[in-house]
Structure 1
Amino acid sequence: MSPRTAPYKKSTPKPTAEVAPPASSLLSDRRVQLTALLTVCIALIMAAGFVDIDLLALATNANYFSTLPATSAAEPQISLLNFNSSFQTDVLGPNATARKIADLPWQAFHEAGIYYEPDNSMYITSNYVSLDDNINITVVSLDDYSISSTQFPDLWEANGGSSYYPPGSDTTKRPPQQVYCDEGDFDHPSALIAVDPGTNTSTTLLTSFLGRNFSSVNDVRQHADTGDLWFTDADYGYFQNFRPAPVIPKQVYRFEPSTGVIQVVADGFVESNGLEFSPDHKTLYVSDTGAQQFTKNDTGPGTIYAFDVVDGKRLANRRTFAFCDIGFPDGVHADTDGNVWAGCGDGVHVFNPDGVLLGKIFVGETSNNFAFIPGGVLVFSNYRLWLVENVKVQGREPSQ
């Protein structure tokens, strides 16, 4: 288990030197000047981070991004890139600001991102290190952004996850539990595990497809109307040397927790990864991250596909929705306006419902996932955690 982190503390600005007060008339003039200056400074601060991208210049200059200070910094930093004006006006909103809130010596911020109302915290899975140091759950308090680590019983190598209503739950209230994709290891099968953080208890929901082992179940969503769990399976445990060789194709599944019924609903992926429903649950988005297996393959898929959801049970009309220009689209989420967000190789990419790139939350390094919080977005980039505040849109999932 990785070491617990010290609580995050906001830095305190150094006090300014005291200055003798000027004469009353001069003080009045200076107050007017100071008020005007503060107004300008506040306006600059609020606008800071937004960078307009010249698409015509980019269309004819492959090195365009290297000319922008925001995208060519030596160290990771956060910027908000406008590929379309609506990204600033309608998606993030004109008052959005962005900052880094944590930079740790271990990869605490990797996947999942599940809000738990009783402690007003976000639960994030860390990245895999070794079988002797299995994946932690990083808990980020939304009260003060303090950070701690925990583990749940019988949850060995957690990856993606979502809020969860067990069968018979009151769905008019916030989800009482969480469900994680446990990638498993050489001694434990890959599985779907339900967790109650309040009681520190776990329940195994699923460990195989009709007796046939999964590779490394990767990400999961619960259908709001049926309660079914839709999830993906990929080979990343095998690629990271903590799972045996795969014995089943990379597929998307639908599982009924109340009956045990399980079906394959989509196949034909190199590495099926993130998935997400549209707000009306009529569309399912699934990412294929085959561009990264044992090694990086730039000609492999880094693609989000869209499917029609038929009767809440099956998928039809597979089509290419979007391709990620940097890295691959890992975690995928939708907002209530139907925009599709994906963690990619340089940050979070935001597409409109037609698959047009509206903008990026650029951090200059891979973001495997992110999470909506009330009025904001937390961006995970393994060692670092970033925050975008005063965000206009809201996340689709009911826990947001």
Structure 2
Amino acid sequence: MFWKIFTFLVHVSLSVAQNYAGNTAMSLSDIVDMSTFKQVSQSTEAIFHEGPVFVETTNELYFSSNRFTDSSGGQNIRISKLNVTTPNATPVTVTTNPPILMANGGARINLKEIVYCSQGYNSTPGSLMRLNIETLVATKIPLQIVRPFGTADPNPDFSSPNDVVLSDQYDGYFFTDPPYGYYQNFRPENTMPPAVYFADRRSLNVTRIWFFPSNYRPNGLSPSADGSRLYVANSGFQIGNGSTDPSVPIVMHVFAMSKGSKGVPVLTEMDPISTGTGVGVPDTVKVDEKGNIYVTVSNGVRVYTPGGVYIDTILIPSAGPVANIAWAGKTLYILAETFCIRQVSQSNDAIFHEGPVFVETTNELYFSSNRFINSNGEEHIRISKLNVATPNAVPVTVTTNPPILMANGGARINRKEIVYCSQGYNTTSGSLMRLNIETLVATKIPLQPNLDFSSPNDVVLSDQYDGYFFTDPPYGFYQNFRPKNTLPPSVYFADKRTLNVTRIWEFPANYRPNGLSPSLDGSRLYVANSGFQIGNGSTDATVPIVVHVFAMSKGNKGVPVLTELDPISTGTDVGVPDTVKVDEKGNIYVTVSNGVRVYTPGGVFIGTISIPPPGPVANIAWAGKTLYMLAEKVLYSVQVKNRAAPLHDIDNTNW
């Protein structure tokens, strides 16, 4: 993968939703306040996996890890706890006596005890274990399976119990038992079918209340708020050994439920709830006090009405998956297992928009804002800088002399200078401007001929081609701060020695060439086309939502020559592509509405570095192996494995 792996814990505040019935339509904002989305903790190991249980007396969240392999080749899972009210607290390993073998799902029994699913190990069957969180003594619950004609098996051979929930209404434990232990090579082949069980809390008699086909994997489960339904996630599409089984439906099974003989629940299968394709398998199922259903998937937590109507997804900033969730009052803790982003800074204004440039000597990130309107009705854009190494640092406005009119994309020239795209204003044409970051003096680069650029958008420097590449879409006209463009939307190249500028590609009038970058080896040029968004609030469905790809080579006097190749589609449901950048391995990064889409050097989609709503990510910048993502009012960062492509050496004194 191209990103650095972390596991992480985040939280979000929940609202008290209106008391609605069945399939009443609502939005996620009725349930979740996404402005409270916050990273709580992270680890380089997959410790945030299953069994989250909150203990309010100590403000600690208990949870179990994914599987680890020890030095002898054996597998183990560890339980940890974290004080979620202490900033920067470190997770603490919980050592139980005896160990809870391969601990998985968990639930609170009382103020002092948690019940865990022990998946067993080797010849030791799975079981339910009571953990005293004060003494850390773990005790096996002596369940016995009730057989036909009243016989009982005191030593049931459960394969690998996965999730457990307690119900006062039914006076017992519900739990699932899929055969993951066998398929993940820590238990013998299962002797009992994948099933849902109920254990009476008084007699501890266990009844199999539903069994599934052998290739199904009953996972997380929960009764409905009123106890009339039972929801069971089926994660059997993922067999457990790294393979998949497309014959298994990616659904949450729904059962009507009522009390039968001796209070044992009786289930009647109903229509399942599809949890979507392209978001992995459902894992955990939980229900809030209003009956809304929460299902964890690869990209977050899908939320449904009590009637099973999909509301929306609480998206997480990761490659997923979310394995489990837990409530602490009206805070929902979300356990995820791969890389995470970090919120670096936020503002009430859309200051994190374009032109991010990192200066390593001062640890400052420079960037330009979205458009603001002053008291005179005039539009302007301001440049700011932020010391990203200082916690809680406040962005500082950079006042240049003269002002860089409607500053947009930027790039580093040398240790002391940044080049910015000035989009111009009114009758002042767009241009490229050199900014000395020590004196804050801005100087127009005297490109020849002196063209009436509409509103230059992005710029990149190339040592291989010895010049500047930049785009010039007509956004200035459509956003009402420049006259109608006299030049077509184009990509230009300016020789750094002669400053002669050449139009190297012309687009149709309704296209909007935006971010651009040469490939790592200089044989390609990538140009984002954001023309679907005209610039005046309207859209143009005739414009393809793509990154244009050109073969590129040196022509006469070193001016690049382009040949159009097949474009890269950036998807139809994630807004338009804005920025295009490349890392040192040649991977292509494209900013869209929900994050940063990453492609191989050959244009094959790898995955998305997702951000919380609302987005979009307009631009990105590297600082070593930290990638900064500008999302209008929020600045995010993520650790990545590769640095920026070395297209230009800032110590090259010939610029």
TM-score, normalising length: structure 2: 0.47
The residue correspondences of 1:67-106 to structure 2 (distance < 5 A) are 68=297, 70=300, 78-81=316-319, 96-106=339-349
- Deviations along 1:187-210, one digit per CA (max 9) or x if unpaired, are 422110011101111110146x73
Cα distance in structure 1, aligned partners of 2:314 and 2:449: 45
Shift of residue 373 of structure 1? 1.5
In 2: Cα distance, 1:82 partner to 1:267 partner: 40
Find the aligned partners of 1:361 and 1:71 in 2 and give their Cα distance: 17
**How many angstroms does 1:149 deviate by?**
1.7
Superposed CA deviations along residues 189-234 of structure 1, whole A, max 9, x for unmatched, are: 2110011101111110146x73441111110111123431110001
1:241 alignment counterpart: 480
1:313 aligned to which of 559, 562, 585: 559
CA–CA separation in structure 2 for the residues paired with 1:263 and 1:12 = 51
The AA in structure 2 aligned to 1:104 is: S
Report which of the two has the higher share of helix.
Answer: 1
Q: Distance in 2 between matches of 1:95 and 1:163?
A: 32
Kindly indicate whether residue 607 of structure 2 is the aligned counterpart of residue 359 of structure 1: yes
SS at match of 1:358: strand
Is 1:224 the counterpart of 2:470 in the alignment? Answer: no
Q: Are the aligned partners of 2:518 and 2:526 in contact in 1 as well (CA < 8 Å)?
A: yes
Q: For the residues of structure 2 that align with 1:332 and 1:351, how far apart are their CA atoms?
A: 11
Mind listing any 5+ residue stretches in structure 1 that lack a counterpart? 1-9, 19-31, 41-52, 84-93, 166-174
- What amino acid is the match of 2:512? E
Deviation at 1:122, TM superposition (A): 1.0
What's the counterpart of residue 395 of structure 1?
644
Secondary structure (helix, strand or coil) at the match of 2:480 reads: coil
Contact 2:427 2:483 in 1 (8 A): no
- Partners of 2:451 and 2:313 lie apart in 1 by 45
Q: CA–CA distance in 2 between the matches of 1:95 and 1:392?
A: 13
The question of 1:140 aligning with 2:357 is answered no
Change beyond 3 A, Cα 1:226–1:268: closer
Tell me the equivalent position of 2:46: none
CA distance in structure 2 between the partners assigned to 1:133 and 1:346 by the alignment: 27
1:273 corresponding residue in structure 2: 514
Structure 2 residue 617 is the aligned partner of structure 1 residue 374: no
Confirm or deny: 8 A CA contact 1:78 1:98 kept in the other structure.
no
Q: CA deviation at 1:278?
A: 1.4
Q: Distance in 1 between matches of 2:487 and 2:275?
A: 43
Question: Could you tell me which residue of structure 1 aligns to residue 428 of structure 2?
Answer: 188
Q: Report deviation, 1:399.
A: 7.2
Alignment partner, residue 595 of structure 2: 347
CA distance in 2, matches of 1:103, 1:77: 19
Structure-2 residue corresponding to 1:214:
453
Q: Secondary structure at the match of 1:216?
A: coil
Structure 1 residues 391 and 196 mapped into 2: Cα distance closer, same or farther (>3 Å)?
A: same
Structure 2: distance between partners of 1:211 and 1:98: 43
On the 8 A contact 1:115/1:399 being kept in 2, the answer is: no
1:84-131 CA deviation, whole Å, 9 max, x = no partner? Answer: xxxxxxxxxx97431222221100100111112332211111001126
Q: Is the 8 A contact 2:379 2:481 kept in 1?
A: no
Q: Structure 1 runs of 4+ off > 4 angstroms?
A: 10-13, 32-37, 53-58, 60-69, 71-78, 397-400
Question: Post-superposition shift, 1:258?
Answer: 2.3
Per-residue deviation at 1:82?
A: 6.7
Task: Give, in whole Å, the separation in 2 of the partners of 1:202 and 1:134.
Answer: 16
Report the secondary structure of 2:607's partner residue: strand
How large is the RMSD of aligned CA atoms in angstroms?
3.7
Q: 2:441 aligns with which of 201, 213, 230?
A: 201
Gapped runs of 5+ residues in structure 2? Answer: 1-37, 42-55, 59-77, 83-90, 95-236, 239-243, 251-273, 280-293, 304-311, 322-336, 651-655
Give me the whole-angstrom Cα distance separating, in 2, the residues matched to 1:97 and 1:308.
35
Matched, 1:110 2:110: no
Structure 1 residues 102 and 35, CA, compared in 2 at 3 Å: closer, same or farther? closer
Match of 1:38 in 2: 92
Letter in 2 for 1:343: T
Higher strand share: 2
Change (3 A) 1:33 1:254: closer
Moved more, 71-80 or 127-136: 71-80
Write the distance in 2 (CA, Å) between the matches of 1:375 and 1:63: 32
Aligned-pair CA distance for 1:375:
2.3
Q: What letter corresponds to residue 360 of structure 2 in structure 1?
A: E
Aligned residues: 344
Shift of 1:301: 2.2
Deviation at 1:271, TM superposition (A): 0.9
| Post-superposition offset of 1:177 | 1.1
Match of 2:411 in 1: 162
Tell me if structure 1 keeps the 8 A contact 2:472–2:491: yes
Q: Do the aligned partners of residues 184 and 296 (structure 1) sit closer, same or farther apart at CA in structure 2, a change above 3 Å counting?
A: same
Change (3 A) 1:290 1:76: farther
After superposition, give the CA deviation of every residue in 1:235-288 in whole Å (9 maximum; x if it has no partner).
112121111111110111111232131111111251111111112222211111
1:332-343 equivalence runs, <5 A:
332-343=580-591
Partner of 2:209: none
More deviation, 94-103/295-304: 94-103
Cα displacement string for residues 336-387 of structure 1 (whole angstroms, at most 9, x for unaligned residues): 0100001112111101111111111112321111111222111111011111
Pairing partner for 2:527 from 286, 306, 311: 286
* Identity of matched residues, %: 24
Q: How high is the TM-score relative to the length of structure 1?
A: 0.75
